[in-house]
Structure 1
Amino acid sequence: MFTPSSHDVRRFFCEAFRKQRAGEILTPMDAIASDWIARHPEYDDVLADAESAVARDYSVEGGQPNPFLHLSMHLSIAEQVSIDNPPGIRAAHNALVQRLGEHDAHHQIMECLGEMIWTSQRNGAAPDTAAYVECVRRR
């Protein structure tokens, strides 16, 4: 299992951004990341400076939203939908996309994903994927 550090994740997004801007060949994962990066031009300055991005503190106490967490959640949701895991997430996603469009649907799903992770951590239990999918369906 691949468990990248926060620095690895930040470098990945910065490198995908750099490659896309330079017109270089993108890996499939770079291409997915670049699509979501393009939908968030507010992150361009952060992504343009990899060294600063790696060094920056995005703790809750700092009060700054973490663009790398946000983009990572987009990638996670895209992967979940592509393999329909947890089961039912693709149908729930597609229903939201029909109503809201893909980007807004992802943001709604992020709320449910964050809630599932928070609850799992708080309770010291495995993530409740059925509750997660139901949360998305209710949106």
Structure 2
Amino acid sequence: MFNPTQADVRRFFCAVHAKTLQQQPMEAIESLASQWIAEHPEYHAELNDVDAALARIGEPGTERDSPFLHLSMHLSISEQCSIDQPPGIRQAVELLTARRDDLHAAHHEVMECLGTMLWESQRAGRPPDGQAYIDQVRRRATQD
């Protein structure tokens, strides 16, 4: 299993952004990351400078609103849906996307559910509850 450091994640997204700007070929995961980067032009300036991004690791408050965390969550949700893990997440995200008529907006709502699941898991000292996560996404798909 791949367990990247914060520096690895920052280097990855900065490299993908650079490849996009230079119209270089990409691996499949890089192409997917590039699509999410394109959805967030407000992050492009920060992605242009890998050295500055690496220097900010550990600064107070930098992870709370981190473009790298945000883009990583988009990528994680995309990957979860592609392999339907936890089982049922693909359908739940599809239902929410149809309800919102916007994949990007749906992802932002799913991020809140994912964050809640991870926070509750850490707080309780137990594994993440995939079913509770899916149930929360499904509830959002039925709300106005």
1:34-83: CA deviation from partner (whole Å, max 9, x where unpaired): 00000000000000000101111465645861100000000000000001
Report sequence identity in percent. 52
Q: Which runs of 5+ in 2 are unaligned?
A: none
**Alignment length, in residue pairs?**
139
Query: RMSD between aligned alpha carbons?
Result: 1.4
Matched residue, 2:132: 131
Matched residue, 1:51: 51
Report if aligned partners of 1:58, 1:66 keep a CA contact under 8 Å in 2. no
- Aligned residue for 1:86, secondary structure, equals coil
TM-score (norm 2): 0.92
Report if aligned partners of 2:6, 2:57 keep a CA contact under 8 Å in 1. no
Q: Which runs of 5+ in 1 are unaligned?
A: none
- Cα distance in 2 for partners of 1:34, 1:96 equals 23
- Aligned residue for 2:87, secondary structure, equals coil
TM-score (norm 1): 0.95
Matched residue, 1:104: 105
Report if aligned partners of 1:36, 1:74 keep a CA contact under 8 Å in 2. yes
Report if aligned partners of 2:63, 2:69 keep a CA contact under 8 Å in 1. no
Matched residue, 2:22: 22
Matched residue, 1:121: 122
- Cα distance in 1 for partners of 2:112, 2:63 equals 18
Alignment of 1:53-92 (within 5 A): 53-57=53-57, 61=61, 65-92=65-92
- Aligned residue for 2:65, secondary structure, equals coil
Which aligned segments of 4 or more residues in structure 1 are displaced greater than 3 angstroms?
A: 57-64
